[in-house]
């Protein structure tokens, strides 16, 4: 392991060391050595261990989960790469990339601001939708959100749910510690704290550290909840995704519920557990508007099986079907009415009615 790699792991080691120390300070110095009431001690220990396990589980899943490699079929072959590099014309390069997409049947809807297929010259791949190149990791990753030094990896498609849960349980963990330590922290400042000097130090430091981290985690958590509800990544918040129709910052938004389900899944039993339940394969994503060239097929292929298809797409299809049937019924009624009115019998009846009306008036 070289010095650069070891340096990148320092934030992870620091977070792990703080967690180990907080466990020692809370369990030993607060619950065992300070709290005298047994029932209070047991309740706090049970709640603390539940939050500690969920927090640690989410954190390590974020650290050790591969963020999402790009499949090899998006990589250009040697002949395709030589053909692309042999020309200096931007128009010709755009044509070559479009032809590669057609030949390999790659489901890419996003484009550059110039309207060409998104291509990474460092990885020699055609970028799938929402994929980006990470300069720190040195590779392209699926649905990249950002590179986080505190987990020493990219936060992307495969570990984004774990990252949000890490922020959530980290915030709850810090708030729980702050509130449960507050009483004894105030007693310490009032000089009525009956404990050893070492426990005083741990409890004092535990309150300050948990309060400080809860503030920073709260801001990050609120920001990423906002991103999840709008189906946007951190990169897309700074630069809107571009499609054939142009930039659209909410191009992947499916409504609040649909956006939540895309990240956390639709099974309520596993929504809040650090288990991968995100919908899709990270290559194609449902859009607000159907791509005229891709159609709806590529957006639906990512949902395996009828039961696992995107519920937001099902509701949209059902609504469109109802509208189509109502419009069809209205058209049939108008045509039938027009046929009746234009028939000879109807014309004769209409003439008789008009004559009768004139006689009555006269």
Catalytically active residues, by annotation: 148
Tokens of 176: 């729980």
Q: What are phi and psi of 137, to 5 degrees?
A: -75, -25
Torsional sign, CA 274, 275, 277, 282: positive
DSSP string, 47-76: HHHHHHHHHHHHHHHHHHS---BPPGGGBP
DSSP string, 144-170: --EEETTTTEEE-TTTHHHHHHHHHHH
Q: Are 124 and 112 in contact (CB under 8 A)?
A: no
CB under 8 Å to 193, separation ≥6 — which residues?
A: 184, 187, 200
Helix (H) or strand (E) holding 132: strand 132-134
In DSSP terms, which residues pair with 69 in a beta bridge?
Answer: 141
DSSP string, 273-289: SSS----S-SS----SS
Please tell me the distance from the alpha carbon of residue 179 to that of residue 294, in angstroms, as a whole number: 53
Tokens of 341: 């009115």
């Amino acid at each position: 392991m070289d010095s650069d790699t070891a340096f990148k792991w320092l934030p992870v080691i620091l977070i792990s060391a703080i967690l180990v120390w907080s466990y020692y300070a809370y369990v030993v110095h607060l619950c065992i050595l300070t709290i005298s009431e047994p029932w209070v001690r047991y309740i706090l220990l049970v709640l603390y261990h539940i939050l500690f396990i969920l927090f640690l589980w989410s954190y390590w899943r974020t650290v050790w989960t591969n963020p999402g490699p790009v499949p090899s079929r998006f990589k250009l072959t040697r002949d395709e790469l030589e053909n692309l590099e042999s020309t200096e014309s931007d128009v010709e390069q755009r044509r070559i990339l479009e032809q590669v997409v057609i030949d390999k049947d790659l489901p890419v809807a996003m484009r550059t601001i110039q309207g060409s297929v998104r291509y990474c010259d460092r990885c020699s791949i055609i970028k799938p939708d929402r994929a980006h190149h990470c300069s720190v990791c040195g590779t392209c990753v699926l649905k990249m959100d950002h590179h986080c030094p505190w987990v020493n990896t990219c936060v992307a498609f495969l570990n984004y749910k774990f990252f949000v849960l890490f922020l959530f349980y980290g915030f709850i963990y810090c708030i729980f510690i702050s509130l449960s330590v507050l009483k004894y922290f105030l007693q310490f400042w009032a000089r009525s704290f009956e404990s050893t000097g070492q426990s005083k130090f741990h409890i004092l430091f535990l309150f300050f550290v948990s309060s400080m981290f809860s503030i920073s985690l709260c801001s990050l958590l609120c920001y990423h909840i906002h991103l999840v509800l709008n189906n946007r990544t951190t990169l897309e918040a700074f630069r809107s995704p571009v499609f054939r129709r142009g930039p659209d910052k909410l191009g992947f938004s499916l409504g609040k519920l649909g956006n939540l389900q895309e990240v956390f899944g639709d099974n309520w039993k596993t929504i809040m557990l650090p288990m991968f339940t995100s919908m899709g394969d990270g290559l194609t994503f449902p859009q607000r508007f159907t791509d005229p060239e891709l159609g709806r097929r590529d957006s639906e292929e990512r949902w395996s099986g009828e039961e696992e298809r995107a519920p937001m797409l099902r509701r949209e299809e059902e609504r469109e079907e109802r509208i189509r049937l109502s419009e069809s019924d209205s058209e049939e009624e108008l045509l039938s009415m027009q046929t009746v009115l234009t028939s000879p019998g109807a014309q004769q009846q209409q003439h008789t009615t008009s004559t009768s009306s004139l006689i009555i008036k006269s």
